[in-house]
Chain A
């Protein structure tokens, strides 16, 4: 039996219900809040999010406990950042919904321009001692984190300067000196990589993620570009800086790595360095605690075209910072807690518990005792003074995606000419950097 058609009247009533619901939803769209002036000086309970890795959870818990003990009327509630495809997706959605906490200790510098455009970040320079506190703590490196208006919408917090980790046992098997491997220049690196693969010591010499996510170029192109240029960013003053002989040399170096199958171009599940698929990895000091029981490792700076001394070499910072978010109603407490959690004492705790480098000046001397007891980390502390951040520019993520698309095409899969790909990407990125 064929069901009877709903009457026109039913359609009308349903439409009325749908329209009514939409009106209600639309009316719910705007929400008021405490005035910005009141919130900026208000004190009271606040909420924070921190990262969900074991070491940072330990640091987060102890800093919150220490604060709460001393400030019974300004309690801090801490949670791990909710899981999602990425922290940036989660934070972006929370900003739109107005559900983000006061402080997030996992704010990617690349996402800051987008969050700022959303109106989701508090200008830290608006606090009386905001700019001076940041610049005193972080020194000259702080300038990389200032937005285009010269203000700070993020607290530079910690870096993970990326370097080349290598597996000493695999190098020994390949007949390479494990204490002083020849990895300083592109030519040396290529020769060593070939030895590793030809000897059968490892299936691949190195295995950066070959996937298309916008941030993957931070772990193949960008560290070597920073080293080759003495610390240039991808974009400066609204113009791309990579379509140069140095940028081309870096791209050609990686293209050769892929063409000779010294690196894999397939998605690898797991950690290729830890599971023995690759003899080298390009990561920061966070990995020391991960690899310490799995790999007999050594570390050297990223290679350059010509020999440079270690104290001249720059690299990518892989920093994570702290943002203060717009829905925070007790910003006075949030600012005080932010300074407390980035004090010399708490930065020392961060270093001890996570092995990550606080973004503060004179790291090796400030925590000399720690580095004497943990010499593995000293090289990273010295490298931390010469780190390059992603540019704080409008359309940052779109810019990196444009670069990544060109990179995967020309370098990883060899589908297009490298020089042409860089030229096309530079042209597109120049337009994006100039678009507000």
Chain B
């Protein structure tokens, strides 16, 4: 990779060239531009639209959410001025002492414990299988991707039919079927959601791994084979290290999207049921912030969630970096 360096046509520090009277000012101007925009101002110009996008779509709302979480805030019509008094950590005290909120964080924790390892293991395993020259490879690749691109509402309807009390799954299981059935069973509701989300998102993560597998040198497998490594040993010693970067990305995406779980408990378990056994922080944020007009407490839940996700992501990064070293 080469880097082009733009040089000033006139050497600025040539002692043989006497300085023009305004040279000092020009240098100051140049250094101010450089100080603000770096040595490649055009690069900043090209990056500016995305920076503005980030500012408008992410930074401003996050900053505003943090502000709301420390005030008594509610949304008003334009031109309606109401006081938004600073309330310190009151909103945080409210949400962190609310059993429903604490339970929702527990539920999403259970979800992540089930969903993240399942996602990594299944998507890597299936990507390796689909990377081989198997019959109907294109069909299988498409089949795994279809749930990902299908609207949740449609897919949820299928799962409701499969897993209700008289559904196909219970008919197969017979007396082994749980009572109450899966989606109205306090014990099974969250694992079922984790299974559903894993299945639905698998196609996307398989694609990530398939892309990563293309970058694993074939010579490494040949060398391993020459050294007597079997399929499992090759997988552990060549494939897994070879796709480590992709694994880090899959882990991060699975954690972030999982922590923001909303649609599935909203649709699959009737709004966080049964008896609140599958509520999630984002579902409560929707209820409190949008339906009930309490954006302050909803924001406090959101800020706590962001902090927890950042901590988990940080731990994940440290662990993957350590194993990389």
Contact = CB atoms under 8 A, between A and B. Distances in A.
Interface of A: 1, 7, 9-10, 12-14, 16-18, 21-22, 25, 30-33, 85-86, 88-89, 92, 95-98, 114, 117-120, 203, 209-214, 264-267, 269, 326-327, 395, 397-398, 401, 405, 408-409, 412-413, 415
Nearest to A211: B270
Contacts of A398: 292, 294
Interface stretch (B47-55, B107-115, B119-127, B204-212): B47-55
B261 to A, nearest CB: 16
A397 to B, nearest CB: 5
Nearest to A31: B78
A267 B271 CA distance: 10
Interface stretch (B13-21, B29-37, B238-246): B29-37
A21 B55 contact: yes
B302 interface: no
B69 interface: no
A22 B291 contact: no
Contacts of A413: 180, 184, 186, 273-275
B317 to A, nearest CB: 16
Contacts of B63: 22
B74 A117 contact: yes
Contacts of B294: 398
Of A89, A213, A267, A327, chain B has the most CB atoms within 10 Å of the CB of A267
Nearest to B54: A18
A249 to B, nearest CB: 22
A415 B187 CA distance: 13
B75 A408 contact: no
Contacts of A25: 56, 60
A9 B1 contact: no
A269 B157 contact: yes
Given A408-B273, A408-B274, A120 B77 contact: yes
B77 A327 contact: yes
Contacts of B320: none
B292 A397 contact: yes
Contacts of A211: 270-271, 273
Contacts of B186: 413, 415
Contacts of B1: 1
B96 interface: no
Contacts of B272: 212
Interface in B220-277: 267-276
A146 B275 CA distance: 34
Contacts of B270: 209-212, 267
Given A89-B291, A117-B74, A22 B37 contact: no
A214 B291 contact: yes
Interface in B52-94: 52, 54-56, 59-60, 63, 74-80, 82
Contact of A118 (B38, B59, B287, B293): B293
A118 B55 contact: no
Contacts of B54: 18
A16 B36 CA distance: 9
A86 B77 CA distance: 19
Contacts of A266: 160, 164-165, 181, 183-184
A21 B276 CA distance: 40
Given A17-B52, A409-B276, A30 B78 contact: yes
Contacts of B276: 212, 405, 408-409
14 contacts: A13-B44, A18-B54, A30-B79, A88-B291, A92-B75, A117-B74, A118-B80, A119-B76, A266-B181, A269-B157, A327-B77, A397-B293, A401-B287, A409-B275
Contacts of A92: 75, 290, 293
A269 B290 contact: no
Contact of B34 (A9, A120, A412): A9
Contacts of A397: 291-293
A114 B77 CA distance: 12
A232 B272 CA distance: 30
Contacts of B80: 118-119, 326
B38 A265 contact: no
A9 B75 CA distance: 38
B44 A212 contact: no
A212 B265 CA distance: 11
A164 B52 CA distance: 56
A117 B72 CA distance: 13
A16 B52 CA distance: 10
A395 B166 CA distance: 39
A255 to B, nearest CB: 13
A105 to B, nearest CB: 19
Given A10-B44, A119-B80, A18 B59 contact: yes
B36 A13 contact: yes
Contacts of A264: 165
B51 A18 contact: yes
Given A92-B290, A267-B160, A33 B78 contact: yes
Contacts of A12: 35-36
B75 A118 contact: yes
Contacts of A114: 292-293
A92 B307 CA distance: 28
A325 B271 CA distance: 30
Given A88-B291, A267-B160, A401-B291, A326 B77 contact: yes
